[in-house]
Amino acid sequence: MFSRFNLKAWLLLLPALSFLIAFTHWPTLKTIWRSFTWAKSDVAPSQFVGVENYQILVDDPIFWKVIENNFWYALGTVPTSIALAIIMALWVNSKIHCTSLLRLAFFTPTILPMITVANIWLFFYSPNIGLFNQLLGLVGIEGPNWLGDPDIALSSLMVMTVWKEAGFFMIFYLAALQTLSPDLFDAAKLEGASTWRIFRKITFPLLMPTTLFVLINAILNAFKLVDHLFILTKGGPNNESNLLLYYIYETAFSFLDSYYAATLTVVMLATLALIALVQIFVLDRRIHYR
Amino acid sequence: MSSWFQVFSKTSAYLLGLVWVLPLLYAFWAAFHPPEYATQFSLTAPLTMENFASAWEQAPFFRYMLNTIVITTLILVSQLFLCTLAGYALAREKFAGRGFAFALVLTQLMVMPEVLIVENYRTLAGLELVDTYLGVGLPYLASAFGIFLLRQTFKTVPQELEDAARVEGLSGLGIIWKVFVPLAFPTYLAFSLVSVSYHWNNFLWPLVVTNTEASRPLTVGMAIFGAPESGVDWSVISAGTLIAIGPLLILFLIFQKRFIQSFMHAGIK
Amino acid sequence: MKKLTKCLSTVGIASILGLSSAASAATDLTMYYPVAVGGSLTKVVDGMVDKFEAENPDINVNAIYAGNYNDARVKALAALQSGSPAQLSVMFSIDIHALRNLEAIVAFDDLVSNDSEKKWLNSFYPALMENGKADGKTWGIPFQRSTIVMYYNKDMFRAAGLDPEKPPTTWEEFASMGKKLVKKDSNGAVQQWGAMIPSTGYPYWMFGALTKQNSEVLMNQEGTETYFDKPGVVAALEYWQDLGNKHGIMPKGMIEWGTLRQNFLDQKTAIMWHSTGNLTTVKNKASFDFGVAKLPGNKELGSPTGGGNFYIFKKSSAEEKKAAFKFVKFMTSSEQSAHWSKSTGYMGVGPGAYETETLKAYVKTFPPAAVARDQLTHATAELSTHEAGRVRKYLDDAIQAALTGQLSAKEALTDAQKQAKSILRRY
């Protein structure tokens, strides 16, 4: 009986699992293996080189730069997106006018492809002729070179990322808010609690499961969302806005070095594994896996 | 709280809303005005449709759109099918190795296909599937997120319902199709929306794996069409952008209530 | 599962049908083509392809537009590896070493069979052939080629009291005239810049002009050595820095390649250095009187050549190679080259093109069209080495680090030289 059940379950799982294994687990293993090999070109046979690629990696200043950038990129986009998403959800959930119009406005970036709107952001950011600097010029401020100044370029990319993400995350908060009982808030208001106090003591704690879900998604996005780099900065100036996944792409598809690209990918995989472990062991696993 | 706080809160809400649609507003501005006005704003600027004409001439939007639709549909159909089976197995079947299988599935939540573009590209080149619809779709045909969502939903279906269906003589697959799928409808809808908007907008993998108009989706087509290397012409790019996002935008405007509500009601939280 | 298989196979069949619609008797050629400057370029190429097909009914050419130079190379190589057809391509002239290392291309010398073809092979400007030759053979035939030229706004020259027919010819004049062209508002904010040299996109290319003007080259012909840290090279970068920092005629920091043309058209800068490939677009869109001139020089005049060459892939049948050769010959013939140059602003690839009626008449009414050609006598090869992608990036990064003030020109270039040397030691 048990073995028959077993077979049925595995048969049901088989198609999905085989795709997952073929395009997630197997390539992961191959990537790890490749990171220990090297060949002069794609037509030459590869050979085992031990940790040589990793030695190159440790000595590669661009690698350390993209790691640093990715750290700041995550730190800059994740909390901001989440905070904005909560505020947006509260607004849209409250009784101000035209909430559906607001909701629509906030959600619009979600359905616009990053790569196409990046060109429009390029106009916003452009010095001399761009929208932001035209507006700043109206009040007599000479705006910065948003994408060309090494101190600002990465932040400019972050702003666009937050713009893209916040509305998407808002929806999850909105869903959560609508499941909360209004009685709770009425009671708190009767007791004369301030808006901020109600949020801090009641709303925010109740939104915690959503926050954890959104948090993980936002962190993952910080690693995989590089579309706008292709249009806006290409990682420049001097790698000041370069990110790990874009560097992997450059290495593999501009420098045609799949071995070093594999080595960089292993670092990415290790980082993701670390995040997964933190998620499972530090954060409450019941919330996510129930 | 005090009324000035209310006013402040309201004003910032509208302001932020305005900022959020600014790129879209600009796209409309630049697309419908002559190129001289792409970077300058004037109420007296004449209207024109010429940018659309030249955008349409410069890129095969129709083909790109078709490709995007086929790829998105292919992925969605396959995801719904595969995830239903796997989600059911993980939610309702008891078997040795279930925890392990679930862990295997969850790996993909973290290790997104984007990370593995280099190796997956080699796999596809080996299968000679580069520059085909199937090639663009393959790494996404099974979705851990979908399996996870459906498993959660299927878990909430009462055992009695399943037992009753069994008494009526329904087989294993029949039960899934007749009992579980209808009950999980909101989840399917929400997942479909997430999946469609994700793959409609997906860029990096299609960029790597498509070579020609035969399979190139809108995003990649737009990236080539609007590449800054060729000297940015915002009027034409904006017109192209509107052509590209038009269908999705119109659908979204019509069904926006449904769209957003199904997100909310699906229990993705 | 059955449903899925059915669905998958339908899609599969559909895509196969879509790919192989051409007739079987004729020779089918697939050409990968980069679209790097000017969006309407594809129409010009398509028109020329149509003409060729009309003259050669037994050959079909399918042009695939694959994005920028880098994308086009990746896509063409990918097609070769995955077994999809690709017989020829226009790619970066500087990809020659990488393509040879991959054993992807054939030498044109091996395809030449008679004297008239030999003559054709020698009909191009020698400066344009520099990036196409290696080991004594010709691997790339110039087509979509350009140099950097100086576009300037004659109205602004007049307004600043400068002679619009005498643009700067030396570095000193460039700086001093530039200063006169800068206009500031009452707050001291710059309304109009003297000049702009783009520092994103292809900074190494712009830098190649400055180094040549300082009588230096960036690499050896074999592409195995670079000379980034030579004093003359460092001095060239310092001059570039000075334009923003000391002379104040250019914005400090980065200047975006893609939006520069718009800046020039919006009259935010009096002068821009840019590819000749922009000429036709600027001509069509400028609302003011503009001129085009050779770049100013220091020790000598100079600009690198740039752009794309025709390559023919090894992995094709003898018959396909013959057809591809015929096509390349057609596209680079004087008549076609002249038509191409007139339509786009790219240069004619040989003296013959400028002797055609088309270009003769065009140059007469629009003298800027000949500037790129006249500059060829001062031209040098574009930076081209083994590991070209990485070496270029090292130099690009160094230039950007220096221009944004992160490093001194000397530090940045010494770093880049060190990195390039270490990556090139294998060759």
- Beta-carbon contacts below 8 Å between A and B: 260
Of residues B14, B23, B120, nearest to A23 (C-beta): B120
The C residues from 50 to 69 touching B (CB cutoff 8 Å) are 64-69
Residue among C79, C83, C260 whose CB faces B211 most closely: C79
Is the Cβ–Cβ distance between A141 and A253 less than 8 Å? no
- The number of residues in chain B equals 269
Residue B263: inside a domain: no
Instruction: Report the gap between the CA of C231 and the closest CA in chain B (Å).
Output: 31
Q: Tell me which residue in B88, B117, B197 faces A12 most closely, judged by beta carbons.
A: B88
Structure ipTM = 0.89
The pLDDT tens digits along chain A (290 residues) read: 444 557 888 999 999 999 999 999 999 999 999 999 998 776 678 889 999 999 999 999 999 999 999 999 999 999 999 999 999 999 988 877 778 888 889 988 988 889 889 999 999 999 888 999 999 988 888 889 999 999 999 999 999 999 999 998 998 898 888 878 778 778 887 888 788 888 888 888 888 888 888 898 899 999 989 999 999 999 989 999 999 999 999 998 888 888 999 999 999 999 998 988 887 777 655 544 43
Distance CA C247, CA C245 (A): 6
Q: Quickly list DSSP for C2-24.
A: HHHHHHHHHHHHHHHHHH--S-S
User: How far are the Cα atoms of A253, B18, B21, B84, B263 from residue B12, in angstroms, in the given order?
Assistant: 44, 10, 14, 43, 25
User: Hey, what are C387's tokens?
Assistant: 């590991």
Nearest to B188 by CA among B133, B145, B240, B157: B145
Mean pLDDT of chain B: 87
The pLDDT assigned to B263 comes to 67
**CATH superfamily ID and name for C147-305+381-424:** Periplasmic binding protein-like II (3.40.190.10)
Give the residue extent of every domain in chain C.
25-146+306-366, 147-305+381-424
The CA distance from A160 to A164, in Å, is 6
Domain holding B65, by residue range, is 60-225
Say if C25-146+306-366 and C147-305+381-424 have the same CATH topology: yes
Other residues' Cβ atoms within 10 Å of the Cβ of residue C235: 17
Residues in contact with B144: Cβ distance below 8 Å, sequence separation at least 6, in sequence order: A20, B105, B106, B107, B108, B109
H-state helical runs in C345-408: 351-354, 357-365, 371-375, 388-403
Name every residue in C having a CB less than 8 A away from some CB of A: 1, 4, 70, 74, 77, 81, 98, 101-103, 187, 189-190, 193, 199-200, 251-256, 258-259, 262-263, 266, 268-269, 387, 389-390, 393, 396-398, 400-401, 403-404, 406, 426
Nearest to B230 among C37, C285, C287 (CB): C37
Name the closest residue on chain C to residue B131, using Cα atoms. Answer: C79
Closest B-chain CA to C70: B229
DSSP 8-state assignment for residue B113? G
Distance from CA of A182 to the nearest CA of B (A): 17
Answer whether A175 sits within 8 Å of B264, measured CB to CB. Answer: yes
CATH superfamily of C25-146+306-366: Periplasmic binding protein-like II (3.40.190.10)
Query: pLDDT (tens digit, 9 = 90+) per residue, B91-123?
Result: 998 888 888 999 999 888 888 888 999 899 989
A224 touches chain B (CB under 8 A): yes
Is A72-233 assigned to CATH 1.10.3720.10?
A: yes
Q: Give the one of B130, B213, B215 whose C-beta lies nearest to C78's C-beta.
A: B130
- Three-class DSSP category at A36: coil
Rounded to the nearest integer, the mean pLDDT of chain A is 88
CATH code, domain with B162: 1.10.3720.10
Confirm or reject contact between B38 and chain C (CB < 8 A): yes
Number of domains in chain B: 1
